[in-house]
Structure 1
């Protein structure tokens, strides 16, 4: 894992198409696969939409089987939603953003690092979306393929 930057930013809301997931956060891959297949079938990749994972619950205080998350694709098309999809707007505002380069096995470590730095700086959370925004990703079939990701924590 490599940390590229860590800074406070004012982020714009992102209108997305989302597939919800309930259960361990590591299990969200199936929701992303469904979204990616649908986007491909509808020729949405040409517009280069952003993808994001939104995490609603604190895994330290919520049982794994009750964790709620969203696999999101930026809505640039206005196309009708596929089955099991919904519109979801990722919240904007003041965020602590850590950009990291990780492979699939390093996401947990990356989130631990961003929360540790957030807490060390004495920042306060608020209730908006905690999310990861995918900047670049290698082959999703290769667990060692690097991804550049912005880890975004809302702050007061």
Structure 2
């Protein structure tokens, strides 16, 4: 079984600009495509922004067609939004953070390990809050094998 490096880190609360998505998590890319168009249209694309995704449901329990997620951007300043774009709060606190390198389609194994063997052996419990991912580079100009994603799981 593959193991990963995990660090427990304090992450401050933050407000992100977001677009809702429902359906298979791997298809959140469609929400990101339209969201990036909105960001570009509002002159918000810059090196300072960080793209993120929030994932609300356990795909082993919730039917794929009903999975809830949000395509998000962490912006360096406040902006006004209107539907379908909204503002979403990410809770601050301690998070288990796993750095995944590789295609998004391979991240399920990292999640299973993080929520399974790591969490069980850590002596910690997951908080009743959604996990989120921070995308450290762009799939537009980076090969899939080099994609870097921080998986952040809130802890009690």
Superposition TM-score tier, normalisation by shorter sequence: 0.7 to 0.9
- Provide Cα deviations, 1:50-98, integer angstroms capped at 9, x if missing partner: 1111011111111111111111111334333254111101111011111
- Does the residue aligned with 2:136 lie in a helix, a strand or coil? strand
- Provide Cα deviations, 1:17-53, integer angstroms capped at 9, x if missing partner: 1000111111211111111111122221225211111
1:6-155 aligned at under 5 Å gives the runs 6-46=6-46, 48-116=48-116, 117-139=118-140, 144-155=144-155
CA distance in 2, matches of 1:78, 1:7: 29
Change (3 A) 1:118 1:31: same
Name the stretch that deviates more: 43-52 or 63-72: 43-52
Change (3 A) 1:96 1:104: closer
Q: Which 4+ runs in 1 deviate beyond 3 A?
A: 2-5
CA distance in 2, matches of 1:97, 1:61: 23
What 5-or-longer segments of structure 1 have no aligned partner? none
Q: How far is 1:3 from its partner?
A: 7.5
CA distance in 1, matches of 2:93, 2:23: 27
Q: Kindly report the root-mean-square deviation, in angstroms, between the aligned alpha carbons of the 2 structures.
A: 2.3
CA distance in 2, matches of 1:47, 1:89: 22
Q: TM-score with structure 2 length normalisation? A: 0.86
Aligned residues between the structures: 154
- Does the residue aligned with 2:33 lie in a helix, a strand or coil? helix
More strand per residue: 1 or 2? 1
